[in-house]
Structure 1
């Protein structure tokens, strides 16, 4: 064969229909992400809720140390119950809806453009925000915002755990409180998943074509997950900070969501400056980037394992038939 012969292009395999596989793989991936990265999320929330008091705001490390010293190390895992309760449906909806929206754009060779990938990611982000993420985050933020010591058994917090917090919120403030800030959450998740899935998918496609294989090594999956996860927070940090302040408030209001959003934004900028909109950006990137590395690595591993087992089982059944 001549050295100048054209290189055989990488042929992409048609996507498999795997709703149950996406659900299980996404749930396991989300569980691992929560266990590994939740302390960083607690630090991020505390930094975003810190009010200007004439002193220099504590940084990422100091905030984490203060929580551990004053309230106990396990306080870094406040709100974890709310995350775990919602993580399986959240990840199932994220990956399943993304694959569904993505399938609407495939051409005859199962290719999809960058813009179409972004739209599929945006759709997945909005879907998960409305169905799971916003109620879960309202409960999580209320738990994380409590300054009580887990070292002292007599220091009983208002919200004892995630189900208790959800019950009290609905009882005292109404069920609609669980959807406080949903527009901001949807905007944040849409931009997050749009950027996240687009960068991840295109880097994955590039590496697949370069290596000529569908299955990438785990270190490559982790690497592109880390890169894609770091870019989302940079695009929507102000939305996340305002959303956290809005969801932390415990009083009922007849004002529309947009009016409250504008009031919080103006007050935040007036009292603490424009840079306050980026409070917690460091721990958020440190939370989201490795979180996405863990999520995509575990997701791809579990998905490949389940698909392999399914293929083996189908092949065995065919031979027995």
Structure 2
């Protein structure tokens, strides 16, 4: 009987309390600085690689009825031929200045909304994830995206050769800060928020679909693979697939947004496009319903790989930041124990 008694004694274990289980299973929440660095790195890499497709998309969307029509590759060829290769990167400074705060706002606000919408068990339903994504898209559109895109589109829409010093010297918009000042001085500070309604709707739909799809596929895949983290190629694949769904639905909003942000406000003149609900009928009546999907090819070619790169970079940087944070935490604990 002695051996069995000893065994029973060894097997006795205090049951885990809910608090203990939560302490063990709940990962430490990522800070705003964490989102700032990981999101900023993701945005920087994505925009550096994919920006030329955004320039091509903008030029295609600004082409109106009566103008010559060109596809993706011909538009790119004509930009390079007439304005030189660096012209494909017009407006990139505006993107860089907006991408770090945008990504920080996107990921941090998504996590904040998700925490608010979580149930008593800490889990978030698909509807909650959708609403958190919608909220993050609206937040980034108001705080960052709209004024940054007004400046970016003004820079992208300028027809001048990047290889001609005379044309460069005479261009109206030179960089993002100077563009913002010129627009505000000539058209009022409100001009930096042209197209805010379609931008809010576009970003909201994009991030709602984006985060919902990515989180659902990621969760299902990790459960099936019995792992806690995605591999880099998995983050790329799932990010690309989730990123491609939003543009198919909301491209008309992007076309209207681009037209509103491109046009200049002249005192005493009624602008051609005065809002989303007025602009859509005008575009359809003059150019046909398919004009609302102008630029969809370069937009998909930019957003799908862009989201693939964004999620892969974000997960990669976030994972390595967590490793560094854990190492620093362990070192601090060891130092404190030695000091005692």
Please report the TM-score for the alignment, with normalisation by the length of structure 2. 0.87
Give, in whole Å, the separation in 2 of the partners of 1:260 and 1:131. Answer: 20
Q: Deviations over 1:156-188 (max 9, x none)?
A: 211011111111001111111000110110000
Cα distance change, pair 142–310 in 1 and its aligned pair in 2 (3 A): same
Give, in whole Å, the separation in 2 of the partners of 1:181 and 1:214. Answer: 41
Q: Deviations over 1:251-293 (max 9, x none)?
A: 2479799943333222211111000000000110111111100
Equivalence for 1:227 = 241
Equivalence for 1:266 = 281
Note if contact 1:30-1:88 (Cα within 8 Å) is conserved in structure 2: yes
Note if contact 2:118-2:128 (Cα within 8 Å) is conserved in structure 1: no
Matched, 1:31 2:60: no
Task: Tell me which structure has the larger Cα radius of gyration.
Answer: 2
Note if contact 2:150-2:192 (Cα within 8 Å) is conserved in structure 1: yes
Ranked by relative contact order (alpha carbons within 8 Å, sequence separation 6 or more), the top structure is 1
Q: Deviations over 1:194-243 (max 9, x none)?
A: 00000011111111111222211100000000000100101100000011
Correspondence for 2:302 among 265, 277, 287: 287
Q: Unaligned stretches of 5+ in structure 2?
A: 1-23
Note if contact 2:247-2:300 (Cα within 8 Å) is conserved in structure 1: yes
Give, in whole Å, the separation in 1 of the partners of 2:85 and 2:67. Answer: 28
Equivalence for 1:22 = 35
Give, in whole Å, the separation in 1 of the partners of 2:220 and 2:272. Answer: 42
Equivalence for 1:189 = 203
Equivalence for 2:8 = none
Give, in whole Å, the separation in 2 of the partners of 1:258 and 1:273. Answer: 16
Note if contact 2:110-2:136 (Cα within 8 Å) is conserved in structure 1: yes
Equivalence for 2:107 = 95
Note if contact 1:12-1:109 (Cα within 8 Å) is conserved in structure 2: no
For this pair of structures, how many residues does the alignment match? 310
Q: Unaligned stretches of 5+ in structure 1?
A: 1-10
Give, in whole Å, the separation in 2 of the partners of 1:189 and 1:113. Answer: 21
Give, in whole Å, the separation in 2 of the partners of 1:97 and 1:167. Answer: 29
Correspondence for 1:50 among 63, 86, 95: 63
- Report the alpha carbon displacement of residue 106 of structure 1 after superposing the two structures with TM: 2.1
Correspondence for 1:40 among 29, 46, 53: 53
Give, in whole Å, the separation in 1 of the partners of 2:105 and 2:75. Answer: 33
Note if contact 2:213-2:242 (Cα within 8 Å) is conserved in structure 1: yes
Please report the TM-score for the alignment, with normalisation by the length of structure 1. 0.92
Note if contact 1:180-1:257 (Cα within 8 Å) is conserved in structure 2: no
Equivalence for 1:304 = 319
Give, in whole Å, the separation in 2 of the partners of 1:102 and 1:12. Answer: 18
Give, in whole Å, the separation in 1 of the partners of 2:89 and 2:183. Answer: 20
**Mean CA deviation greater in 290-299 or 261-270:** 261-270
Give, in whole Å, the separation in 1 of the partners of 2:117 and 2:273. Answer: 33
- What is the root-mean-square deviation of aligned Cα atoms in Å? 1.9
Matched, 1:73 2:75: no
Cα distance change, pair 261–307 in 1 and its aligned pair in 2 (3 A): same
- Report the alpha carbon displacement of residue 192 of structure 1 after superposing the two structures with TM: 0.3
